[in-house]
Structure 1
């Protein structure tokens, strides 16, 4: 069986990726902090697509949980073909001098350290088989810094750099490593950033047709379907009305 592991699978890009790969016949490992949503998704995927699903309830920010829960899954599940490091968030949109350090810690611990903790568990499984593909979900914010987003941009720039480093270090093991950097995409992302303020979240996409979670999942899936000798290292995707994290054309 082919296995894909998706972190942050209970919403947005993660849920769309898990569903897309399940529909293609992959067995899936889904992780997330929200246990009820995780179990609902497990039931949905297994019933709809007839595949095996392993649901793991942990927070990627907690290194001990990652090592204990993910590190001790049954041996047959450790043959992960594709790891999608999707868990991530933006917290707050304030000038750096007025920002809440708790927001900084949430972003750094999730977007950078969480990705590293999960990868550190999974990479030895791949290197032992000299096979695998790691997809790190970045952002257009990795490529250009914008006002009031300095720390979020910094975390995604770190994801970009870590991805490049992974690609180099894993080269002898024939493991593919890809960064997918989405631009404006309508998911729970802005609701999280604005801490539940629906008006602010909706205003982010005023006058434009943003990417959907499915758009991103389709691109992620495409990156994994190329011939064994082909690897997309870095891919930036935006809606047609967006050039980068700063420039948009709205109607």
Structure 2
């Protein structure tokens, strides 16, 4: 039985991923600040939701002690972890970044994915297989003015996947995957940012105006196809736009 644990499942790309998994009959445990009532009504038996603000350090302690999480894991033959939740803020040069914003981004973009990955790697037993997918970004490979925290946190996911692959754990496969530019609330936030904080703003406005953004639904479908493919984990770092 394939089961998936998905952070940030209630909207955007996370919702697209959740729908793609659920329509295939795979049970999903979604972890997000808010729940998705419509999705729950549609997939009542296959969807479980945990309301949790993952930007808070106490969130990881709650997950580690969660009986709901352990029960969900127990019956899976193959377990999928999709570390999707993330923040693009703070946007701006170094001297415009607030410490609180930096801490929240590092917590959500790095600490939570790394800690959840380690937690599940400790929990899988016997013949259980674990596939870990970090939702990365092209910003992990290219530096952008105003995005130093976002670029650094996504680069950390790429390096984590490379190093975990070197561990050669027999029951763990991992990939840090850039999904492309998707029409989500994060993109809206980028387009609404003052140009003095993010000089590349016009590029993202042009992407929207030229209909060059992928939909969360189609991106979620393609990401799940990639995650379930026989070759998953062959590359520690990959880009969905290459397929």
Normalising by structure 2, what TM-score?
0.82
Task: Report the CA distance shift for 1:128/1:67 in structure 2 as closer, same or farther (over 3 A).
Answer: farther
CA deviation after TM superposition for structure 1 residue 232, in Å = 4.0
Which residue pairs with 2:179 in the alignment? Answer: 182
Which residue pairs with 1:218 in the alignment? Answer: 221
Over the aligned positions, Cα root-mean-square deviation in angstroms equals: 2.8
What is the alpha-carbon distance in structure 2 between the residues aligned to residue 73 and residue 196 of structure 1?
41
CA deviation after TM superposition for structure 1 residue 127, in Å = 5.3
Which residue pairs with 1:54 in the alignment? Answer: 48
Which residue among 86, 89, 92 is the counterpart of 1:88? 86
CA deviation after TM superposition for structure 1 residue 92, in Å = 3.8
Equivalent positions of 1:36-185 (< 5 A) are 37-46=35-44, 51-69=45-63, 71-74=65-68, 75-79=70-74, 81-126=79-124, 128-169=126-167, 171-185=168-182
| Structure of greater relative contact order (alpha carbons < 8 Å, 6+ residues apart) | 2
Unpaired segments ≥5 residues, structure 1: 240-251
Task: Report the CA distance shift for 1:18/1:131 in structure 2 as closer, same or farther (over 3 A).
Answer: same
Deviates more, 1:73-82 or 1:112-121: 73-82
Unpaired segments ≥5 residues, structure 2: 195-200
What is the alpha-carbon distance in structure 1 between the residues aligned to residue 232 and residue 83 of structure 2?
22
Please list the CA deviations of residues 142-177 of structure 1 after superposition, one character each: whole Å capped at 9, or x if unmatched.
Answer: 0110111111101100111111122222x2323110
Deviates more, 1:63-72 or 1:11-20: 63-72
Deviates more, 1:174-183 or 1:72-81: 72-81
Aligned residues: 231
What is the alpha-carbon distance in structure 1 between the residues aligned to residue 63 and residue 232 of structure 2?
33
What is the alpha-carbon distance in structure 2 between the residues aligned to residue 163 and residue 41 of structure 1?
30
Task: Report the CA distance shift for 1:13/1:234 in structure 2 as closer, same or farther (over 3 A).
Answer: same
Please list the CA deviations of residues 37-96 of structure 1 after superposition, one character each: whole Å capped at 9, or x if unmatched.
Answer: 3344322322xxxx4221111122334333324542344411451010101010143122
Task: Report the CA distance shift for 1:212/1:16 in structure 2 as closer, same or farther (over 3 A).
Answer: same
What is the alpha-carbon distance in structure 2 between the residues aligned to residue 94 and residue 208 of structure 1?
26
Q: Secondary structure at the match of 1:153?
A: helix
Which residue pairs with 1:6 in the alignment? Answer: 6
What is the alpha-carbon distance in structure 2 between the residues aligned to residue 15 and residue 144 of structure 1?
27
